[in-house]
Amino acid sequence: MIELKNIYKTYHSGKSNEFTALKDATLTIEDGEMVAVIGKSGAGKSTLMHILGCIDDFDKGEYFLNGEDISKVSEKRRAVIRNKEVGIVLQDFALVESYSVAENVMLPLYFSKHTGNRKAREQKAMEILKQMEMERMADKKVNKLSGGQKQRVAIARAMINEPSVLLADEPTGALDVKTSKEIMGIFKELNEKGTTVIIITHDMEVAKECGRVIEISDGCIL
């Protein structure tokens, strides 16, 4: 499913502020796993996630996603992979605050082909919102929601194209203990239904809920 071989990532290459954020990262994650990635602030967790999610590239090494060699695919194909094969929940939700819940969830559908008319898109959004127990909030503006509700919307948006892998960067970082548990319950449920889930966290309670913990320190996978 996911295979990273000897990946290096350097920011500001060749400049005085050059910084290597990932060093020789090698990692295999099987279909259907639920994995936590832990490490201190600045260890390289988000860098790793951006590479896994094909939203950033790397300098050296190999990355195979579902058998496809990511370093060799076209920019167009990468865009399709980002839209269809991986679902990404970013650290700050990255929702459009002035849009409604349903509009946010439908956004990825506008960037993918063959998603049908507006009615079909709305139906799909309502189905996924139902799974998140958010269907009654569909018409609410995102800026009216609590942190936990926003996180549910972000997960719904990440899942709408039924990706095989769901990546989440510190998804409980801004939430209280009770809400964190609810959100972890959603990730577990999605994992049980077959989605591979990768959660970046520095909360050991969250890591304990995952089937495997990968630790990263100073850009190295331990």
Kindly list the residues in this chain that would bind Mg ion in the complex (CB under 5 A): 45-46
- Does 172 interact with ligand ADP (rule: CB under 6 A)? no
Cα distances from 88 to residues 12, 169, 221, 222, in angstroms, run 25, 8, 21, 24
Provide the minimum distance between the beta carbon of 152 and ligand ADP in the complex, in angstroms, as a whole number. Answer: 23
Query: What does the alpha-carbon distance between residue 44 and residue 40 come to, in Å, rounded to a whole number?
Result: 9
Provide the minimum distance between the beta carbon of 138 and Mg ion in the complex, in angstroms, as a whole number. Answer: 30
Cα distances from 66 to residues 34, 35, 109, 133, 144, in angstroms, run 16, 17, 22, 30, 38
Query: What does the alpha-carbon distance between residue 116 and residue 2 come to, in Å, rounded to a whole number?
Result: 30
Provide the minimum distance between the beta carbon of 114 and ligand ADP in the complex, in angstroms, as a whole number. Answer: 34
- Does 111 interact with ligand ADP (rule: CB under 6 A)? no
Provide the minimum distance between the beta carbon of 44 and Mg ion in the complex, in angstroms, as a whole number. Answer: 8
Query: What does the alpha-carbon distance between residue 222 and residue 193 come to, in Å, rounded to a whole number?
Result: 29
Q: Which does 42 bind (CB under 5 to 8 A by kind): Mg ion, ligand ADP, none?
A: ligand ADP
What are φ and ψ of residue 146, in 5° steps? -80, 170
Q: Which of residues 132-171 bind ligand ADP (CB under 6 A)?
A: none
**Closer CB to ligand ADP, 107 or 213, in the complex:** 213
Q: Name the residues that contact ligand ADP, by CB under 6 A.
A: 11-12, 19, 21, 39, 41-47
